Structure 1
Amino acid sequence: MTAAERRSMWAVATPVAHVVLAPLTVITLVGVLHLGGGLWQILLAAAAAGLLHVGASLAGRRPWAGYGCAAVAMLVLAVTPFPGWSPSVLPSAACFPLVLWRLTTLVPVRSAVAALAVAVTGIVFTELVTWARSLPGVPGWTRPAEGGLLMLVVVSGWLAALAARRRREAGLRAERERLAAAVAGERAGIRRDLHDVIAHTVTVMVARIEAAAVTTTDPATRRELGDIAETGRDAHQGLRAMLSTLGRAAPGGPEAGATEPGGTEPGGDPRPREVPISIDAIPALMASAASPLHAVTYAETGERRPLSLSAEVAVVRTVQEGVTNALRHLEPPVEVAVRLHWSPAEVTVEVRDDGGRTRRGGGGPGTGLMGIRERVHNAGGTLSVDDGDDGWVLRARLPTKEGA
């Protein structure tokens, strides 16, 4: 229940209490007057009843002010002598547990406990005063019975208010967690898309520019292309820094909250679906990455089997990540071999490079491999990375629909 809904309910409950309890109190006081009650007693009780209704009205926006008015009114009723019974059982006295309920649902628990302690103390005081004024012949059990009834009403109402408060707080926590998960998922999706698409494209662009700079015979053109390549590398480093920031914001790691196609976010909301990626796009991907200094080959063996959408996305992104890492981290000339091997139960994706002329320094580790590991794991597969003397080997095994 939202804060606006709670205010709306209180705005309805207060007028109902006024309309129902005030006339009953008037009728009760008229009856007491006919039974021999003094006029000053009737007027004092009526004033206290009016203060109770004022407290109920104040409690909507100022719960402590409303509770203070109601407590003072109950004290006035407690010290007002009435023939044969306690004035605290006036119908308008029901405004007090109503105000206590409102206070308990809004203030800290310690303050709510203090308010309950005040109420219990007031009940004990009221019954002691009434017992001291008891007329001869009044059964002794009437005071404890009345006090027990009042205690039951007040304490049970307070406990119910506390339970409602805790349910509301649990609902708010669940809503905050759902929103946090949605934000984390959105951030992870943005980070992943930037990494998988933009970062790959920039890397390929820089590699092709470097290849053109090496093959050109014009010194000015070579310098210009070198400057362009350096600018591209700077842009790539800036992009990686931004991706790192996005990754830290998502609880649980760089890919926390990342979504796979067709799933659901916490709380039951549908996850955003990714644009379907086909294995048929791999040859074009390899062709765009190749240059005179970057030999990228692709081979596929075995009979192709149907894959789940998440597994197919993982295959393509694994190839893309392996090629991108080779182009980014190795000085050309570089040879990269991409192999897909199909069996009835699984497809094996292997991206192997020859180590290039040497490895580039600096840059630090990225988050791409962690993202790929997450994708492969979510698709039911495994990922391994081997760093040998003759280059890197990125290998993923993903189940087919027949082997799942």
Structure 2
Amino acid sequence: MTASQRRSAWPVVAHVVLFLLTTVILAGALWYLGAGLWQTLAVAGAAVLLHVGAVTARRRPWEGYAIGALAMLVLVLTPLLGWSPVMLPSAVCFPLALWRLTGLVPVRSSVAALAVALLGIVLNELVTWARLPSGVSAWTHLVEGGLLMSVVGGVWLAALLVRRRHEARRRAESERLAAAVAEERAGIRRDLHDVIAHTVTVMVARIEAAAVTTADPATRRELGDIAETGRDAHQGLRAMLATVAPRADSRPGKVPISLDVLPDLVASAASPLHTVTFAEVGERRPLSLSAEVAVVRTVQEGVTNALRHLEPPVEVTVHLRWTPAEVVVEVRDDGGRAPRGGSGQGTGLMGIGERVSTAGGTLSIDDGDDGWVLRARLPTKEGA
């Protein structure tokens, strides 16, 4: 037995010792006052059963409750003049068994157990009233019955309220764990999409450019196969991302991202067939972390989409325009030679839209005659 189990067992041992001791004293008093041996033994046996039922109800509520109900029935039917089972200290074990049962079984079942207890109270008062000597008023037993029903009903209701509170706490904990798992999965998806998917797209674009510019047919075929393998890997990655987190996450990235990465990000996407340029106009203003992440991811998504969905040669321009109140991010392509077929639809733009919205900005996508324009407007700290 562990230390925690020993600590939890102490209350059980204490109540068994206390109530059994007082029950033994009461049984001795009954014997002294003239009760028969079998009556005294019946009271003592019922007391033992009550304690057994209370302990059993901790793990097997219905069995423990049934044992307690049987013990109470024995006490009710034991003929002793002026005797009421509530006089037995161990009788407190019966509402304790009801408490434990109510906390463990379905509510409808606990209602049935409550009904059994109330019927037992009615039976007890009827039997006690029938044993009264003639001329003795029975109103005291009516009061006793009402008080017993109030106690039993109060125990049942309190146990039900405690159970509801515990269930609410468990639901809250379960929801917290589910949210933590969802956030972690969304973080994995976000990192894969924003970093690895972009890198694979740039790699495929540069390989395709090398294949076009090489003069060796065998090298061209080999580079074409490598590019096709890269596209397959990219499609597989997108399918995996859909499995990891079907919905785009709107929370900002956990790793701070700086605007200083933009020139290198744009330069890494350029190739002989992909002209990608970057320009920044105006004085930089302080941005919130979520807005700064949204700027970088908007540029990344715009460049990635242009390289992924357009046949080269492709020209992409990235502009950042600063004002005191906002920064305007614009990623524009020239439409390339033609749209690339069979690329499917991803969730990147949806994720970017949620990022921008979370940062307090707006996102627009325009399809012009000369290509696509992805434009995000984000507030600066001065304009927020």
| Correspondence for 2:350 among 354, 357, 370 | 370
Q: Take 2:366 and 2:61, find their aligned partners in 1: how far apart are those partners?
A: 66
Cα–Cα, structure 1 residues 150 and 7, in superposed 2: closer, same or farther, change >3 Å?
A: farther
Q: Take 2:368 and 2:26, find their aligned partners in 1: how far apart are those partners?
A: 95
Matches within 5 A, 1:170-185: 170-185=168-183
Matches within 5 A, 1:322-401: 322-401=302-381
Q: Take 1:9 and 1:98, find their aligned partners in 2: how far apart are those partners?
A: 19
| Correspondence for 2:121 among 102, 120, 123 | 123
The size of the alignment, in residue pairs, is: 383
CA drift of 1:247 comes to 2.1
Is contact 1:11-1:60 (8 Å) kept?
A: no
Q: Take 1:94 and 1:5, find their aligned partners in 2: how far apart are those partners?
A: 28
CA drift of 1:5 comes to 12
Is contact 2:82-2:132 (8 Å) kept?
A: yes
CA drift of 1:373 comes to 1.0
- The residue that corresponds to 2:23 in the other structure is 25
Q: Take 2:154 and 2:218, find their aligned partners in 1: how far apart are those partners?
A: 88
The alignment partner of 1:361 has SS state of: coil
- The residue that corresponds to 2:251 in the other structure is 259
The alignment partner of 2:103 has SS state of: helix
Moved more, 326-335 or 13-22: 13-22
Is contact 2:282-2:322 (8 Å) kept?
A: yes
RMSD: 1.7
Q: Take 1:368 and 1:359, find their aligned partners in 2: how far apart are those partners?
A: 18
CA drift of 1:136 comes to 2.5
Matches within 5 A, 1:204-219: 204-219=202-217
- 1:323-375 deviation digits (Å, cap 9, x = unpaired): 00000000001111111000001100000111111111113210111111111
Is contact 2:312-2:336 (8 Å) kept?
A: yes
The alignment partner of 2:59 has SS state of: coil
Is contact 2:81-2:131 (8 Å) kept?
A: no
Matches within 5 A, 1:294-305: 294-305=274-285
CA drift of 1:162 comes to 0.6
| Correspondence for 2:259 among 256, 275, 279 | 279
Letter in 2 for 1:371: G
Matches within 5 A, 1:61-140: 61-140=59-138
The alignment partner of 1:106 has SS state of: coil
- 1:112-145 deviation digits (Å, cap 9, x = unpaired): 1111111111111111111111123433211111
Letter in 2 for 1:308: S
- 1:121-175 deviation digits (Å, cap 9, x = unpaired): 1111111111111123433211111111211221111111111110110001000
Is contact 1:10-1:60 (8 Å) kept?
A: no
TM-score, normalised via structure 2 length: 0.96
CA drift of 1:7 comes to 7.8
Is contact 1:213-1:225 (8 Å) kept?
A: yes
TM-score, normalised via structure 1 length: 0.91
Is contact 1:45-1:87 (8 Å) kept?
A: no
The alignment partner of 1:363 has SS state of: coil
CA drift of 1:29 comes to 1.9
Q: Take 2:161 and 2:13, find their aligned partners in 1: how far apart are those partners?
A: 24
- The residue that corresponds to 2:240 in the other structure is 242
- The residue that corresponds to 1:312 in the other structure is 292
Q: Take 1:230 and 1:164, find their aligned partners in 2: how far apart are those partners?
A: 62
The alignment partner of 1:340 has SS state of: strand
Moved more, 25-34 or 175-184: 25-34
- The residue that corresponds to 2:52 in the other structure is 54
Letter in 2 for 1:70: G
Q: Take 1:9 and 1:149, find their aligned partners in 2: how far apart are those partners?
A: 34
The alignment partner of 1:341 has SS state of: strand
Letter in 1 for 2:348: G
- The residue that corresponds to 1:271 in the other structure is none
CA drift of 1:8 comes to 7.6
Is contact 2:274-2:314 (8 Å) kept?
A: yes
Q: Take 1:45 and 1:161, find their aligned partners in 2: how far apart are those partners?
A: 28
Q: Take 1:177 and 1:99, find their aligned partners in 2: how far apart are those partners?
A: 31
Is contact 1:246-1:254 (8 Å) kept?
A: no
- The residue that corresponds to 1:44 in the other structure is 42
Q: Which runs of 5+ in 1 are unaligned?
A: 262-273
Is contact 1:37-1:83 (8 Å) kept?
A: no
The alignment partner of 2:320 has SS state of: strand
Moved more, 364-373 or 321-330: 364-373
Q: Which runs of 5+ in 2 are unaligned?
A: none
Letter in 1 for 2:260: D
Is contact 2:251-2:355 (8 Å) kept?
A: no
- 1:215-236 deviation digits (Å, cap 9, x = unpaired): 1111011000000000000000
Is contact 1:244-1:254 (8 Å) kept?
A: no
Is contact 1:305-1:344 (8 Å) kept?
A: yes
